[in-house]
Chains A and B, each alone.
Chain A
Amino acid sequence: MDALGSAAEQVLDRERDTFPKLVRSNAARIPSKVAIREKDYGIWQSATWRDYLEQSRSIALGLASLGFARGDRTAIVGDNRPPLYWAVTATQALGGIPVPLYQDSTERELAYIVEHAEARFAIVEDQEQVDKLLHVRAQCPRLEYIIYKDTRGMRAYREPSLLSLADLQERGRAFAQSHPEYFDAEVAKGGAEDTAIICYTSGTTGAPKGTMLSHRNLIVTARNAIARERLRADEEVLAYLPMAWVGDHIFSYAQSIIAGFTVNCPENASTVLPDLKEIGPTYFFAPPRIWENLLTTVMIRIEDATWIKRRLVHFFLGLAQDLERRRLNRQPASTWRRLLYPLGHLLVYGPLKDNLGMRRIRIAYTAGEAIGPEIFVFFRSLGINVKQLYGMTESSALIAIHADGDVRLDTVGTPMPGVEIRISDAGEVLYRSPGVFQGYYKSPDATRATIENGWVHSGDAGFLDAAGHLKIVDRARDVSRLADGTIFPPKYVENKLKFSPYVKEAVCVGQDRPYVTALVNIDLAAVGNWAERRNIAYTSYTDLSQKPDVYELIQGEVARVNTSLLEDAALRGAQIRKFLILHKELDPDDEEITRTRKVRRGYVAQKYAALIEALYADESHIEVEAKVTYEDGRTGTVRANVAIRDVAAAPAGAAG
């Protein structure tokens, strides 16, 4: 680690200290290497580093022709598309600050961020985003130009502030004729300390905050990670997670530009799985939710297979998981198991990895939330190098990662080069690193509350173990106690529940209560398939969720969680004693979970207060009515009669 020590890494070459300069250097160094691909019209269309620079330049000069001034903000909204990444480079080249937004933001969220960032320009993907921006135009008086990539459906729009990206680039090329030196001169004015991006954090509480990251933050952090993870110029990554999320910015932008590797943009959100298979990435990132979905899909398909195949697959998967669990716990494995593994690879693991598009993966990460240990073990057992990554927007994403060969089930790995970790007296994880953000945009108070003497409050409760691994227990403010003082980490219990393929989301309640209860969201695909195979007819999500058979199914899962909670003496009291199945899915449009799918605990507790009270009363049913918000802002109501179930505590002897 010392060779990569922070001090040496702090010095940035003046010619390579911003992303536009790095792109320009790639265009000179490796001009015909593919920088980015997009599947369009059924074909993977490639752009080289030379194209990357040219496209960014024409967008930048187009913006310049419209009067873009240094320091101006550009809102960028859309799926992962090469031109939107070029728009990031273009904005940075002019000394501006790109502000990527979640493409599924509601109009209200969009209006808040565009106005808060005081964006003068917006570069968006298509008509849907244009419509949203036009609707909230009145709330964003500073927004002057909306530039759209897809012209489809835009023919009838007459607003003078609208411009297609092609027209913008045409203007840019014309501008270049009269100002041949402009682009390079603007790029030269930029420096490492300039703000490279403002990422608005989804915020489980309150309004989103704009995290400002400098070129230095991102370049040093990305470079350290490239060195430690030995990333190469021939990596292939799939850019399918929102551009507004700092992780995508690090993997698909910063690291790609620094290492020179190729980013692949899927055709659209619904083709991610086939596209994953076609690309076969070598470097892959997925939040636990995606790993869970992949596992669920695999399991559903296995259950649909003939019994002989099913038996074979279950046998070899069980064998591999047993081996992997022993390896992670540093226990010896029996010889016959080790001898059978290659056969399993030939028959099951290899074909399965091929089918998932994961055969070439050298490094894969999971982060954002804790992953169910069983899911983690499942993918590792197939020979996929999945590792935990711990980080947050404020740290330029990367704080700790499992080093290759030093992966443990219950930790998030060891600190990255240049990162220092300290645990506060209250048990909160604090960190200091070259990636520590410049501050929250226009919120000095929030910045002061987060950074203290250079140390950043992560908001997570955790500790460093003897081997130097960081362990995260829960959000610091979420670790709570039952009325009798028993420790209750809600997320920990919820994650155990969520490992079940049938449970999509769970919210556990228990603070200052006599016992723990759970609100469960079933997984429509998995439970639907389960119901079909049992000839259980259902009409809707709500109907399915309240079937007595489904309650039996989930009750089994809850009992399993209770048994596993017995393993840790301190958590014995946190067993789930009552649960109910929610009649609707928790949805970001209803503000119940964030866009990155973290449960907004406070909001859920408030919204479903009646249900929670019923869990602590002597009731077996409760009548509910929930408001549903559609993406266009309209609302509807869902009514249901929700059942409540008691679960017996697992007996003390049942552990193991």
Chain B
Amino acid sequence: MSVVVRPDTASGPGRAAGTAAAPLLEVDNVSVRFGALMALNGVSLEIARGEILAIIGPNGAGKTTLLNVISGFYQPSEGRILFEGRDRTRLRPADVAALGIARTFQNVALFRGMSVLDNIMTGRLLKMKGSFLLEALYWGPAKRQELAHRAYVERIIDFLEIQAIRKTPAARLPYGQQKRVELARALAAEPTLLLLDEPMAGMNVEEKEDMCRFILDVNSEFGTTIALIEHDMGVVMDISDRVVVLDYGRKIAAGTPDMVRKDPAVLDAYLGVDHA
């Protein structure tokens, strides 16, 4: 078991620049309505280039809905979403992925019968070009391309330390490792923005610490911007640069972990009582 140490000097290259430059993603006054239910109600937030942003809130606060809106699974009823300064409110999930936004799911969504390696290779699909025929023959450019993709996937396998399960079918893996494979698949797409929906849910302490370290390493090694939903407040405080708090579909607070922790509105939302 290793400690998650965030070096004090860890304002990675992307991060320092990100705060000054234009945000990577802007959610502008977005609402999502399911019938009479307002899942999101006029939420605005920015994700800066290179940061780790945590989205927290009580159950049913609209966290996953927010992630789904960003990744194109839901269309906002109102408001707009800007990615790299361009309006892309009405895109389908595949287009969003092509833009460089990858995600993992709250409930693991792997191809259960496929090996870990093949699962991760599917993350490269958007990067693969070429004709069906050449692919089938495994010849010429198709072969070179396949080798290059495989090499990239191997780097991720090495990075996430899952060499031992490379050839294991996903369904045979314990939950914690499935989560790791899902992260690997998302990374295979070389995303600019990575959305993680409860990456540590259901993990034991050791698995959580490993996952924290991977998230920090992904952020510093690849410069990937990360937005994550998490319930473990210890984790949130440890790894995120900024925290956004949702409650009943509204944003009730945003700021550094320390600021948010002391925010009266946040205490109300979590404890449901008046604070002294």
Contacts and interface: CB of A to CB of B under 8 A. Distances in A.
Given A156-B9, A157-B9, A631-B1, A268 B159 contact: no
A631 B12 contact: no
A138 B159 CA distance: 31
A153 interface: yes
A164 to B, nearest CB: 14
21 contacts: A39-B163, A41-B151, A41-B158, A42-B150, A42-B163, A131-B5, A152-B159, A152-B221, A153-B213, A153-B221, A156-B7, A156-B11, A157-B9, A158-B7, A267-B163, A268-B161, A268-B163, A268-B164, A271-B163, A274-B164, A631-B1
B136 interface: no
Contact of A153 (B1, B155, B220): B220
Interface string B1-27: 111010101111100000000000000
Contact of B1 (A155, A274, A630): A630
B80 to A, nearest CB: 35
A128 interface: yes
Given A42-B157, A156-B10, A270 B163 contact: yes
A238 to B, nearest CB: 15
Interface in B124-155: 150-151, 154-155
A276 to B, nearest CB: 13
B218 to A, nearest CB: 10
A41 B147 CA distance: 12
Interface string B195-227: 000000000000000000100110011000000
Interface in A9-66: 39-43
A545 B14 CA distance: 50
Closest 7 CB pairs of A and B: A270-B164, A41-B154, A156-B10, A632-B3, A42-B154, A267-B163, A271-B164
Interface residues of A, number: 22
Interface of A: 39-43, 128, 131, 152-153, 155-158, 267-268, 270-271, 274, 630-632, 634
Given A41-B154, A128-B2, A157 B7 contact: yes
Contacts of A271: 163-164
A77 to B, nearest CB: 14
B231 interface: no
Contacts of A155: 12-13, 220-221
Nearest to A273: B164
- Interface bracket on B: 20 to 34
Contacts of A43: 154
Contacts of A128: 2
B261 interface: no
Interface string B207-251: 000000100110011000000000000000000000000000000
Nearest to B6: A156
A341 B242 CA distance: 69
Given A630-B1, A631-B2, A632-B1, A156 B12 contact: yes
B166 interface: yes
Contacts of A630: 1
A156 B7 CA distance: 7
A155 B151 CA distance: 23
A158 B161 CA distance: 25
Contacts of A131: 2-3, 5
B76 to A, nearest CB: 36
Contacts of B166: 42
Contacts of B1: 630-632
Contacts of B161: 268
A416 to B, nearest CB: 37
A542 to B, nearest CB: 15
A152 to B, nearest CB: 6
B9 to A, nearest CB: 5
Contacts of B157: 41-42
A239 to B, nearest CB: 17
Contacts of A634: 3
Contacts of B2: 128, 131, 631-632
A529 to B, nearest CB: 15
Contacts of B151: 41
Contacts of B216: 153
Contacts of B12: 155-156
Contacts of B220: 153, 155-156
A127 to B, nearest CB: 9
Contacts of B159: 152
A40 B1 CA distance: 23
Nearest to A155: B220
Given A153-B216, A153-B221, A268-B164, 10 more contacts: A41-B158, A43-B154, A131-B2, A152-B217, A153-B217, A157-B7, A158-B7, A158-B9, A274-B164, A632-B2
